[in-house]
Structure formats: structure tokens, C-alpha cells
Amino acid sequence: MVHQAEDRAKVRRQQGQAAIRLALQGRWKDAASLNKSIIDAFPTDVDSYNRLGRAMTELGRYGEAREAYQKALEIDPLNSIASKNLSRLATLGKKSAPRQATQKLSPQMFIEEMGKTGVTTLLRSNMGVAARMSAGDQVSLERDNGSLVVKTTDDEFIGEVEPRLGQRLGKLMEAGNQYVVAIGGISESDVKVFIRETFQHPSQEGKRSFPPMATQPFRPYLKDRLIRRDTQGESYYESDEGEELDGNREEDEAEVRVHKFGGTPSVDEEEGEEE
């Protein structure tokens, strides 16, 4: 009996890891099917219901996503993942159109390079649009009447970049710099985006897109051993602040630091660059 229980636990763990790999590859239909199979064999597996909810959200099947998360809460009423995602789905309404397929950017794109990578929380976030998106989705950065805004690839407004950073990046873009942007995290009321400088125009040599200032530890990657094993942890696509970018990395012990725009640039930066 003991061996049978251990074998079942091993099978569930292996299938769960396979479901995670499918999700990281963007194979959402396959991920949904596998999670349903796990649930058939293990009807009280909360993790599988949460993963199924995520897959259904990605497929635009919001009603089925809600059902999966609600089932997770029936099994574990304190499950924060299911609760947060139900709150996000509530902003969509029952007749919301399915999300369009979006390009995912590799998490490796956003490993910090000093002065070239930053993360910021958007202002005036359009949560109705953001709720249909997920971490890693590529979005666009556009200048709009003196402001810098973030939009989906279908030209839907997501939010506005904080004015000080927006003005800085806007000037650099006008001078010829280029950036790539992706959704970094989504909570009930906020949207974070990663911004990376991909091309610096020769005329802007020496000017940093993200000047030195306060940094914060941030983990866009989750170690394999932190993949949720019990009802208290977080799943492979969640963090304490909401959904965040994840993926595989060779040095899984490392912690990256990204610039969170805000505060006051250093004296050297103010004197050395014209804002």
C-alpha cells in the first residue's frame, strides 16, 4: 500500500511537471488536456485546477477558466492563486472576446543589463484588456501626445508609462533608440512591464535608458524546487504580487536585479546627461 501511494505521487508529480513544460512552450491545448487527465486521476489536485484555469484563460475560454479556479477554491478556500485569477477574470464579463494569439518573449530577454533594462508599473491601467494577457506577452511602446503608452499588438491601450520615465524614453526613441516591451506582472489593479533597450543610436552613446537609482530584487524566474507542491505555495506562473514572467535558466540560484523607475537619479547622472 505504501509503495502504491508513493508510485501514485510520483506519477502525479511527473505529469504535473510535463504540464508545466507544455505551458512554458505555449502549447495550451495540450496543457489543458493533460491537466484534465491529471484531475481525472487525482480529483482533489488543486495545482492541476489552477494550471487548467490558466490554460483555458490563454485559449480564451473564460467560462471554463472560472470553473477551474472555482473548483480549486472549493478544495482549498484559502488558495491565493485561484482567488487572484478569479478577480482578474471578473473584469472581463461573460461575453468578452477571446484574446488574440500574442508573441511571447523569452525570459532571457529581460535579464538585467545595467542601464538598458527596467521594470515599471503602468498608470491608468486598462485592466479589462490586461486581464486577457499574461506574463511574457509582447506589447508595444508608443508616443502619444507627449506621453509614452503601452498597447497590445492589436493597438488596444493597456496603460501609460510613468511621466518621468516616459519623457526620457520618448526622447531617446525620437533620437533613434529602439526598445522591446513585455508584460512582466499582472495583479488585480496593476500591470508591470519589462522594457529593454535593443538598439542605441550612435548619437545617444553614453546615455542610459535607465539611470542609476534605487533597485529592487525581482525574480522573473522560479526555481524548479519552488514549483508548487502544497496548498500554501505558489504555482509555476504566480508570485506574491500577481502573475509574473517565468522560465528555465541554467543558474537557477541567481537573483536578478532590475531597475524600478522612481526616486531621484544620482548626482553624476543628472550632471552628465541632459534630460
pLDDT in tens, 73-103: 999 999 988 998 888 788 765 555 555 555 6
Considering the segment(s) 107-218+256-272 as one domain, its CATH architecture is 2-Layer Sandwich (3.30)
- Choose the weakest-confidence range: 12-21, 26-35, 94-103, 173-182: 94-103
Residue 162 φ then ψ, to 5° = -50, 135
CB half-sphere exposure, 130, CA atoms < 13 A: 30
Strand 178-186 to 117-121 pairing: unpaired
Secondary structure class of 90 (helix, strand, coil): helix
Among the ranges 183-192, 196-205, 206-215, which has the highest mean pLDDT value? Answer: 196-205
Q: Topology of domain 2-90, per CATH?
A: 1.25.40
Residue 177 CA: distances (Å) to CA of 19, 25, 45: 39, 30, 48
- What's this model's pTM, rounded to 2 decimal places? 0.58
Domain-by-domain residue ranges, the chain?
Answer: 2-90, 107-218+256-272
